[in-house]
């Protein structure tokens, strides 16, 4: 399995739009924390600092950073942005997830 995380074109475009309103050098941090209705949940934060061991993904001027612990849970995932009838949000298509909730922000391994 590929250990990298990818960012879709739609997600990169939306991240870029969000970051334009933030101070220069701001990145989107994606992390995993315990909780949610399925055991783990994705967390999205604006971040200006990057740790030396963070994975940084840059696409179309948008930068996403992920810490090594979260990478263990996200290897092979794709970060996407969807805008449909139930709303607009970032979705993580994670091949390691064995189940997820209806809202798509929490998952089980």
- Residue 1 resides in a domain: no
Kindly state whether residue 96 falls inside one of the protein's structural domains: yes
Q: What is the pLDDT of residues 15-54, one digit of tens each?
A: 999 999 999 999 999 999 887 676 888 899 999 999 999 9
Instruction: Using DSSP, state whether 69 is helix, strand or coil.
Output: helix
Whether 89 maps to a domain, the answer reads yes
Domain assignment present for residue 14? The answer is yes
Are 77 and 4 within 8 A, CB to CB?
no
- Assign residue 67 the CATH number of its domain: 2.60.300.12
pLDDT at 22 (0 to 100): 94
If one counts the domains in the chain, the total is 1
pLDDT beyond 90 at 106: no
Q: 60-86 pLDDT, tens per residue?
A: 989 999 999 999 999 999 999 998 887
| pLDDT number for residue 47 | 93
pLDDT of 35: 76
Give the model's confidence band at 1: pLDDT under 50 very low, under 70 low, under 90 confident, else very high: very low
Q: Six-digit token pair at 2?
A: 């590929």
23 within domain boundaries: yes
Q: Write out the residue range of the structural domain in which residue 93 sits.
A: 6-108
Q: What is the rounded radius of gyration, in angstroms, for the C-alpha atoms of the chain?
A: 13
The Cα–Cα gap between 57 and 107 comes to 22
Place 89 in a pLDDT band, splitting at 50, 70 and 90.
confident
Q: Is residue 18 in a domain?
A: yes
């Amino acid at each position: 399995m590929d250990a990298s995380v990818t960012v879709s074109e739609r997600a990169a475009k939306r991240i870029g739009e969000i970051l334009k309103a933030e101070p220069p050098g701001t990145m989107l941090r994606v992390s995993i924390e315990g909780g949610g209705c399925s055991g783990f949940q994705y967390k999205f934060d604006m971040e200006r600092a990057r740790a030396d061991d963070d994975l940084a993904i840059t696409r179309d001027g948008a930068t996403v950073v992920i810490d090594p612990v979260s990478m263990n849970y996200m290897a092979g995932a794709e970060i996407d942005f969807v805008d449909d009838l139930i709303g607009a949000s970032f979705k993580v298509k994670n091949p390691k997830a064995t189940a997820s909730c209806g809202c798509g922000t929490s998952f089980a391994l």
